[in-house]
Structure 1
Amino acid sequence: MTQEDDIEAYLTTFERIAHACKWPKEQWVIRLAPYLTGQAQMAYSNMKIHESGQYDLVKEAILRRYNISEETYRQRFRQLKYSAADSPREVFTHLTDLYKKWMKPELKTHQQITETIVMEQFIKILPEDISSWVQKHRPNKAEKAISLAEDYLLAKKDAGRHTRRFQQSQVQKPLLDHKQKRKTMPENRILWGIFFLFMKILWCYPPQKNRLYQHSR
């Protein structure tokens, strides 16, 4: 195996040779490991010892290292287009291969496969913002997908409630200020009235001069 090799094509070729040679599956890792290089070798060396002898787990770890997962195969399955360069049989075979890599029917029950298909459609029909949120967390169970959608809606509802409260407080603030002004206006009028009355009294009745001053005159 070289750095330029397509890891998926390499593993597929290895599996076909293993089947053709009728190697026991327990020996597949032993025969594959010496030829791994680069990222594939790194993925294998980082595995736990008790898992590194199981081919399916080794394959999954290697593909994960290359960012290839069930979601990758699901997208390829849904996005595959018919090409005139391929025969109908080749296209059908390719679709079947992608489906098996996505669903892994040999490892899942009928109920698990049904749940996967229904969950995919469930996420697809959600509103765009909720769907993006759920897909971001890559749920592998329907219950997890449902919980993510419910949590998002709850958080969105709480955010909307806080926004409305803030807006209401901004609307009520001018009203309260206006009421406060109206409340203080009568008090100001009374004070000004007293002031003008006092000035009028001073004007009409000036204070008498000091008697000592008059006597000196």
Structure 2
Amino acid sequence: EAQRQAEERRREEERQRERRYEEIQAMQEQHMQQIEIMKGVLAEREGNSPHLKISPYQETEDIQDFIEAFEGIMKIQGVNRTNWILRLTPLLSGKARTVCTDLGTTTDYDGVKKAILEHYNINTERCKRKFRSHVWTRDQDPTDWIARGVKLVKRWLVPENGMEQVVNKIAVEQLLNGLPQEMRIWVTSQNPETPEKVGELIESYDTAHSCLPQRNRPK
């Protein structure tokens, strides 16, 4: 029995040594990654890229506007995309800063951007609603108002996804608007992305309610 216990202790000590070794390796890899990021930043600073000052983000700002402005300046300055996170984090505050730091050391700018926008509940549906409610008032400059409207519709339709996706978005919206109210609410909740999917959901809804007594059927 004593020999068995001693063997178990030896094995546990070996497992602890292995875990500690893995932790040290992970720390070393993280440290080397940070060094490489800093090298890239220093190399960029020594170059001839134009210097444009970026004001820190304020909680009263539109986070999507801020991120798009940040991306534009990064492109003008020629900053390597893997270094964008290192530039972005110090500029953030509040919830945006928390989301960024919670993700830890990473060079995945697109992943961090997606997490921030999701935290603020910014998605294509929200962009569509903002575009639909974009109304001009006399205290607004017409040129600025139009530019803002174009930006909102681009955010909604996400044109980089291709013409087919744009057509699908517009078609799905119109088809949903043509449905009876209760059916529209249910079909919309399923987030259909194509007209074909809308058709499938209509059939599913209709089949599910066809067995109800006439007086209980949704209108």
Normalization by structure 1: what TM-score?
Answer: 0.62
AA aligned opposite 2:136: Y
Paired position in structure 1 for 2:64: 8
Are the structure 2 counterparts of residues 48 and 127 from structure 1 closer, same or farther at C-alpha, using a change threshold of 3 Å?
A: farther
Cα drift, residue 81 of structure 1: 0.9
- Check conservation: 2:187, 2:202, Cα contact below 8 A: yes
Paired position in structure 2 for 1:31: 87
Paired position in structure 1 for 2:159: 105
The structure with more radius of gyration: 1
- SS at the partner of 1:138? coil
Paired position in structure 2 for 1:129: 182
Are the structure 2 counterparts of residues 34 and 140 from structure 1 closer, same or farther at C-alpha, using a change threshold of 3 Å?
A: farther
What are the Cα deviations for residues 161-198 of structure 1, in whole angstroms up to 9, with x where unaligned? 7969xxxxxxxxxxxxxxxxxxxxxxxxxxxxxxxxxx
What is the CA–CA distance in structure 2 between the aligned matches of 1:78 and 1:57, rounded to whole Å?
Answer: 28
What are the Cα deviations for residues 122-172 of structure 1, in whole angstroms up to 9, with x where unaligned? 1111111111112223333433333322222211212237969xxxxxxxx
Paired position in structure 2 for 1:86: 140
What is the CA–CA distance in structure 2 between the aligned matches of 1:149 and 1:45, rounded to whole Å?
Answer: 44
What is the CA–CA distance in structure 2 between the aligned matches of 1:136 and 1:48, rounded to whole Å?
Answer: 34
Paired position in structure 1 for 2:107: 53
1:120 and 2:173 matched: yes
Q: Tell me, which stretches of 5 or more residues in structure 2 are unaligned? A: 1-56
- SS at the partner of 1:159? coil
Cα drift, residue 105 of structure 1: 1.1
Are the structure 2 counterparts of residues 113 and 48 from structure 1 closer, same or farther at C-alpha, using a change threshold of 3 Å?
A: farther
What is the CA–CA distance in structure 2 between the aligned matches of 1:43 and 1:76, rounded to whole Å?
Answer: 24
AA aligned opposite 1:57: G
AA aligned opposite 1:8: Q
What is the CA–CA distance in structure 2 between the aligned matches of 1:11 and 1:90, rounded to whole Å?
Answer: 19
Paired position in structure 1 for 2:11: none
What is the CA–CA distance in structure 2 between the aligned matches of 1:11 and 1:142, rounded to whole Å?
Answer: 32
What is the CA–CA distance in structure 2 between the aligned matches of 1:68 and 1:78, rounded to whole Å?
Answer: 15
1:77 and 2:152 matched: no
AA aligned opposite 1:64: E
Cα drift, residue 34 of structure 1: 3.8
Relative contact order: is structure 1 or structure 2 higher (C-alpha 8 Å, sep ≥ 6)?
2
Q: How many residues align?
A: 161
Cα drift, residue 109 of structure 1: 1.4
Paired position in structure 1 for 2:38: none
- Check conservation: 2:124, 2:155, Cα contact below 8 A: yes
AA aligned opposite 2:193: N
Paired position in structure 2 for 1:144: 197
* Segment of structure 1 superposing worse, 76-85 or 21-30: 21-30
What are the Cα deviations for residues 42-76 of structure 1, in whole angstroms up to 9, with x where unaligned? 43456598xx5333332222111111111001111
